[in-house]
Structure 1
Amino acid sequence: MSRALYTAATGMIAQQMNVDNIANNLANVTRQDKKRKLEFQDLLYQQLRLAGATQAEGAQVPVELQIGYGTRPVATQRIFSQGTVISTRASVPVRIKDMARLQLGEEIQLTGMGLIIGLEGTGDGRQASFTLRMLANMMKRMQLAVDPTQIRVRNVAAVSTTATLSPYHRKGSRIDVQVASLGDAETLQGGTLLCTPLL
């Protein structure tokens, strides 16, 4: 096969892979997927003449002469830059959380308040009125009528929760959550943290 045809064929194969990559980007445009870009590399160059070489007349050649032997794809790069904001003028409302995306490199500090139960007498004392209110409100949300004066809070503690979410966490990843007592609980050891929303 002629070298020119081989060089042209490598370019066509690389261009086909580039078009395939563009099609993949278009297919995933509605998902929260980052755009990918193919990186290409020259295969080989044949050096026919060096820069500064002397010609037959004694003059020096100012530039080199090389012939390439084609290209090949070598890597797929993800592009993490933020996209352009475009007004859709749609009549359908869109929630901000459906459009939001984390910037790479940003960590997000999440905080919340919750309850730890099952403390076997080491929880908050009667002075922790916010623990009583939190517990009464939680029971009310479960449609359980409870008299706050009948609640024994020594087995319950109000806590603050904090967590740091890095951009490298994915759905289903485990994160470390720090828990600190808000009241006068002696210890939180052995208790169970109830489902606590982190914002």
Structure 2
Amino acid sequence: MAEHIYPIFDQTLNRQDKEALLKQRAVVVWMAGLSGSGKSTLAKGLERELHAQGFLTQLLDGDNLRSGINNNLGFSEADRLENIRRSAETAKLFLNAGLVTICSLISPTEEIRNLARNIIGEADFCEVYVNAPFEVCAERDVKGLYKKALNGEIKNFTGLDAPFEAPAQPALEIRTDLEDYSASLQKLLDLLLPRIKLCCC
């Protein structure tokens, strides 16, 4: 019961102590977009590149989360909200540990993304829209999901019979149908490196 919960947030080491130890600034990079838009590919590439440059990261991929902490959730509106709530709370834990946290989740609506933003905090929430049209994602069909959805085998499929609302003001929009992987990854690095480098002057 809530009256028997006594948080000790004010007694634990703070985030700044951990950032100083790691020599980096923490941030949550929230990558949203349709299935097949390139989120996971870019997230993996970003994590590898940041690691190579000496930054400590944690990648939270939507499918990985749904196979573990969120494995009891479906795709109803309520379950989608809970999926994002848990994912954002997990990201916040890594943020407070001083890590650069990369989240790759479809995050189909403004309501869902605002839920994540409010949990993480506006100052630490870096929204990236990985944009590719439905038709392009369906042509790629990297997981075989579009074929099943178009054949009626999957219901509430985002972009088909469940809505996807494009982010209104993302920190960065990447058009993976118009530019190659290297150019997309470089845009992410250009956005993040100035933000996560800890000034030692």
TM-score class, shorter-chain normalisation, is under 0.3
TM-score, length of structure 2 as denominator length: 0.20
TM-score, length of structure 1 as denominator length: 0.20
Q: Which has the higher helix share?
A: 2
Structure number with higher relative contact order (C-alpha < 8 Å, ≥ 6 residues apart) = 2
Rg: which structure is higher? 1
